[in-house]
Structure 1
Amino acid sequence: MIKKLTILATIYSLFSLSGNQTLYAQDKLEVDVGGALRFNYNLSSWKEGQKNRGGDFGYDMFRVNFNSSYKEIYLNAEYRLYSEAFGGGFLKQGWVGYHFNEQDEIQVGLNQVPFGIQQYNSHNWFFNLTYYFGLEDDHDMGVKYLHVDDRFEYNLAFYKNSEELTFGGDSESSPNRYSYDVVGRNKEVNQFNGKLIYKFGDSIKSRLGVSAQYGGLYNLDTKETGSHNGLALHYEMNVQNWNIKLQGMIINHDPKNLPGESDEILQMGAYGVPYEVASDFSVYTAAVSKSIPVKLGPISNLEFYNDFGYMDKKVDRFEDSFMNVTGVLVSAGKVYTYIDYAAGYNHSWLGGNFVDDFSVGNPDAKWEARFNINIGYYF
C-alpha cells in the first residue's frame, strides 16, 4: 500500500477495506488505502471470430482496498468494479475484526470461508477448478474465530448465509457476486465450518490440514430446508523457491425441491450469470510453482506454475470435468502480469456451452484452451 493516512485516535468513526494484511493494536487510528487496475488479453480456441482478429484486449477490473486499525479493533474490505456483463460492482470481502491477543482474533461480516487451502488453492489468474464450485476464495456472511501459533492453526465459523442483496421473503440469491454460491430456488443458510492445520518442518515447511462444513439449503418453493456438507484433506509445502499444493474434497448437496424436480443438479452463480453444477462430486487438485528471482529491467521475479483440477461427478451418466493451467507470473515493481495457457474439458469458462458443463456435461466434448495475459497495477 503506497498511500497511508495517520489520523488522531480522537476521530470516532471510519470506513475501511483491505486484502490480506492485518494491522495490530495501535494507539492512533491507522488507515491504508490501495487498489488495483487490471487489463486482459485473451485468445480462445473455440471462438472463430476472435481467432480471425487475433484475440481481444480490454478492461478487466478496478478495485479499491481500505484497511484500518485502532487498538485491537480493525476493519477490512475490498470493493470491485467489473463490466456489466460480469456483474458490475460488488463487495468481495468486508469485515470488522477484534484481536484478543497476537494469536486469536474474531471476524464479523463478509469473510473468507475456512475450507481447504487458503488464501488460494492455485497460482494462476484463473484459480483452480475448486473456485468454480465456491470452494476456493469463497466469502460468506457470518462470524469466524481464528487461532494461529507456531505449530497449529484452527478456524471455527458460522455463516448465516452467502451474500444477501435483496432481503425479500422469496427472493432468489443474486449471481452478482465475486465467489460462487448456490443460487436459483435454493439458498445457503446456517453453515458451520471447522478447519485445523498442523505445521511442521524447517528447511521444508509443511502445512497438513483437514476442513469440514455443514449447512442448510432453503428451498423457496417447498419452504423446506435441505442440507449440504463437505470434507477436505489438504497439504501445502514450501521448500526453497518451490510451492506445492495437494487437495482432495468430497462435496454433497441434498436440496428439498418440488416433486418431479431433479435433486442431482444445483444452480450456482457469480459474475452475473448462473450455471448448473452436479449436486454430489469429489474434486482433486494438484498445483506446483517455482519462483526465480531475476534482474531484467524492472522485472524482479518470474514464478512458473502448473495447476491441475479434476471433478469426479457421482452420477455415472454425468461427464467429468477437468482443468489445467500452465503459466508464469511476471513481477515488475507494482505491476504483476499473469501469462496463462488454460485448458478445460467440460468446463463452462473454457470452451463449454456454459450452462451444464459442470453438471451433465457432454461426452463428445473436446479439450479447449485459452491463451490469456492479465496485466495489473497494484497500489
Structure 2
Amino acid sequence: MAKLTTTLCLILALVGMPSAFAQSDSVESTDAAASDDASESATTTQQDDEPTLDVNVGGSISFNTLFRNYGADTPFEEGADRVLSDGAFTFDTFRINANGSYGDLTFSTEYAIYPDAFGGLFIHHGWVGYAFSDAAEVQVGVSQSPFGIQPFASSSWFFNNTYYVGLEDQYNSGVKALFSPGNWDIQTAYYMNPAGTDFFGTTTADRYSYDVVPGADNLRNTVQEHQGNLKIARTFVHGDDASTKVGVSGQIGQLTNQGNQDFETPEDPAAGNTDWHGAYAVHVQQQLGGFEAKLQFAQQNMNPPVADGESTDFVTMGAYGGTYRVASDIDVYSTSLSYTIPVDIGPISAIAPHYDYSQVVKDVDGWNDNVSHILGFTTAAGPLFAYTDLIISKGHPFNQPFDETFGGVMAQQADNEWRTAFNINIGLYF
C-alpha cells in the first residue's frame, strides 16, 4: 500500500510539473504579497495596540478681597484692621496641575504656590495609578484620604470646621484602592505618613491639609503615621435629576512622639512612644435638579503619647505654615446647602447660592464650641469662578485674630466671641 501511494505521487508530480512550476511562481508571488500585507497588518495592529500618552495640563490663579475689623489690640491686628476694615485685595494662590493616562496607567498631580505667610510652596497631591477596569483602580502617592463627603463637605471658600480638624479634603502619602461596582463607592487606603514630610522624615506645617504636627514651641512632638481608611457609600437614583448618596467612613492610625527636632533643647522624655487616633463619620448627599444638600456627623478621638504630667486633652495640628491646638475628643456637625441656577448674563453662565453650617463640640468641660455660619454664592463665567461669602463665627481659624487666643482656637476657644468677615475670591481656572 505504501509503494502504491509513492508511485501515484511520482506520476502526478511528473505529469503536472510544468504547471507546478508555474503555480510555484504564482504562489511565491502571492505569498510574498500576502507576507507584505501581513507584515503591514501586524505593524498596524502593533501600532494600534501601543498605548499613547494622554496629558492634560492646567492650573489656576486666584485673588482675595477681605473685609473685617476685629478691634483687637495687638500691634499686628491693629495694623491688619486698618487695612482690612476697608477691604484689601491680595494674591491668594497659584496652582499648576497635570493629569492623564498611558494605557491603563493613570496619574494626577498638583503643586501650589501660596504667600510665604501661608506656607509658601507645597504639593497639593501627586499620585500614579493603575486602572484594572472602569470600576477598579489603585493609586500610589499623595492622594485624598477616603473619608466623609468628597471632594468637599462644604460649598464656601472658607470651608466648614471639618476641614480645620483634619476631616475634610485631607491628603496623605500611601496607597489607595477605589472600587465602584454599580452604584457603590468603596475606597480603602493605607497611609505611611501625611503629605507634609521632608526627606529626613521631619513633619512640618507647610502643607495643604491639617494633620497632627509638632508644636511651634517644640513641646508637642507628636505626628501621624500608619493610618488606615475605609469608606463605603451607595448612590440611590430616583430619576433623571435626583439621587441620594449614603455612606459611612472610618480611619484609625498611629500617633508617634518623634522627639525634639531642635537639638539645643532637652530630649522629650516621651520620645519614641506611640498611641492611636481614630475617627468615623456618617454622611448623606442629596441632589434634586440644581439643589444639593450635604449632611455629615463625625467623631474624632486622639490619644497623644506625651510625657507624664502633660495634658492629653489636645493635640497640635498644622497647615499653611501655622499651628494651633485641637481638642483630642470632638464631635463635628457639618451641613451644606446649595442651589445652582443657570443664567445668561453676559459671560455669566451660573450662580449658586450656598449656606454652610458647622459646629465642633469638645469633650472637656468648659471648652467652648466652634460654630460657623457662612452665607454666600458662587458665580461661574467661563474659566472664571468667584466665591462671595459672609461668615459669622465663633472660633473659625480663618475668622479669628492672630493674638493670644489663636493658639487654642480649636481647643479651649477661650474668648468665645462672634466675629464677622466678608470675602470675595476670584479665580481663573485653565
SS in 1 for 2:397: coil
Q: State whether residues 265 and 276 of structure 1, in contact with CA within 8 Å, keep that contact through their aligned partners in structure 2.
A: yes
Counterpart-to-counterpart distance in 2, 1:371 and 1:245: 23
Q: In structure 1, what is the equivalent of residue 381 of structure 2? A: 332
Query: Aligned AA for 2:364?
Result: V
Q: State whether residues 368 and 416 of structure 2, in contact with CA within 8 Å, keep that contact through their aligned partners in structure 1.
A: no
Q: Any idea what the Cα deviations from partners look like across 1:96-140, whole Å, max 9, x if unmatched? A: 011000000001000000000000001111111101011111000
Q: Which has the higher helix share?
A: 2
Q: In structure 2, what is the equivalent of residue 376 of structure 1? A: 427
- Residue 45 of structure 1 pairs with residue 47 of structure 2: no
- Residue 232 of structure 1 pairs with residue 281 of structure 2: yes
Counterpart-to-counterpart distance in 2, 1:135 and 1:57: 30
- Report deviation, 1:51: 5.3
Q: 1:88 aligns with which of 108, 113, 120?
A: 120
Aligned Cα root-mean-square deviation (Å): 1.5
- Report deviation, 1:153: 1.0
Query: Aligned AA for 1:319?
Result: N
Which stretch shows the higher mean deviation, 193-202 or 99-108? 193-202
Q: Any idea what the Cα deviations from partners look like across 1:281-327, whole Å, max 9, x if unmatched? A: 01001110011001111101000000000001011121111111110
Counterpart-to-counterpart distance in 2, 1:320 and 1:303: 29
Q: 1:105 aligns with which of 131, 137, 141?
A: 137
Q: State whether residues 164 and 397 of structure 2, in contact with CA within 8 Å, keep that contact through their aligned partners in structure 1.
A: no
Query: Aligned AA for 2:110?
Result: E
Counterpart-to-counterpart distance in 2, 1:62 and 1:219: 34
Give matches, 1:244-255, under 5 Å: 244-255=293-304
SS in 1 for 2:309: coil
TM-score by structure 2 length?
0.80
Q: Any idea what the Cα deviations from partners look like across 1:56-112, whole Å, max 9, x if unmatched? A: 101011100111210000111100000110000100000001100000000100000
- Residue 181 of structure 1 pairs with residue 211 of structure 2: yes
Which stretch shows the higher mean deviation, 111-120 or 218-227? 218-227
SS in 2 for 1:149: coil
- Residue 345 of structure 1 pairs with residue 397 of structure 2: no
Query: Aligned AA for 1:179?
Result: S
Identity value in percent: 39
Q: 2:324 aligns with which of 266, 269, 275?
A: 275
Q: In structure 1, what is the equivalent of residue 230 of structure 2? A: 194
Q: Which has the higher strand share?
A: 1
- Report deviation, 1:150: 2.7
Q: State whether residues 26 and 72 of structure 1, in contact with CA within 8 Å, keep that contact through their aligned partners in structure 2.
A: no
Q: State whether residues 158 and 398 of structure 2, in contact with CA within 8 Å, keep that contact through their aligned partners in structure 1.
A: no
Q: State whether residues 232 and 248 of structure 1, in contact with CA within 8 Å, keep that contact through their aligned partners in structure 2.
A: yes
- Report deviation, 1:49: 5.0
Counterpart-to-counterpart distance in 2, 1:239 and 1:149: 23
What residue ranges of structure 2 are gaps of 5+ in the alignment?
A: 1-48, 72-77, 215-220, 259-267
TM-score by structure 1 length?
0.90
SS in 2 for 1:355: helix
Q: State whether residues 389 and 422 of structure 2, in contact with CA within 8 Å, keep that contact through their aligned partners in structure 1.
A: yes
Q: In structure 2, what is the equivalent of residue 27 of structure 1? A: 51
Counterpart-to-counterpart distance in 1, 2:230 and 2:144: 13
SS in 1 for 2:133: coil
SS in 1 for 2:147: coil
Q: In structure 2, what is the equivalent of residue 215 of structure 1? A: 253
- Report deviation, 1:183: 0.2
Q: In structure 2, what is the equivalent of residue 70 of structure 1? A: 102
What residue ranges of structure 1 are gaps of 5+ in the alignment?
A: 1-24
- Residue 125 of structure 1 pairs with residue 163 of structure 2: no
Q: State whether residues 196 and 205 of structure 2, in contact with CA within 8 Å, keep that contact through their aligned partners in structure 1.
A: no
Larger radius of gyration: 2
Q: State whether residues 251 and 281 of structure 1, in contact with CA within 8 Å, keep that contact through their aligned partners in structure 2.
A: yes
- Report deviation, 1:26: 8.4
SS in 2 for 1:76: strand
Counterpart-to-counterpart distance in 1, 2:195 and 2:51: 33
Q: State whether residues 161 and 189 of structure 1, in contact with CA within 8 Å, keep that contact through their aligned partners in structure 2.
A: yes
Q: State whether residues 207 and 236 of structure 1, in contact with CA within 8 Å, keep that contact through their aligned partners in structure 2.
A: yes
Query: Aligned AA for 2:428?
Result: Y
Which stretch shows the higher mean deviation, 364-373 or 347-356? 347-356
Query: Aligned AA for 2:120?
Result: G
Q: State whether residues 37 and 63 of structure 1, in contact with CA within 8 Å, keep that contact through their aligned partners in structure 2.
A: yes
SS in 1 for 2:153: coil
Q: State whether residues 213 and 317 of structure 2, in contact with CA within 8 Å, keep that contact through their aligned partners in structure 1.
A: yes
Structure 1 pair 226/167, CA: closer, same or farther in 2 (3 Å)?
Answer: farther
Counterpart-to-counterpart distance in 1, 2:208 and 2:55: 24
Q: 2:169 aligns with which of 130, 137, 140?
A: 137
Q: In structure 2, what is the equivalent of residue 18 of structure 1? A: none
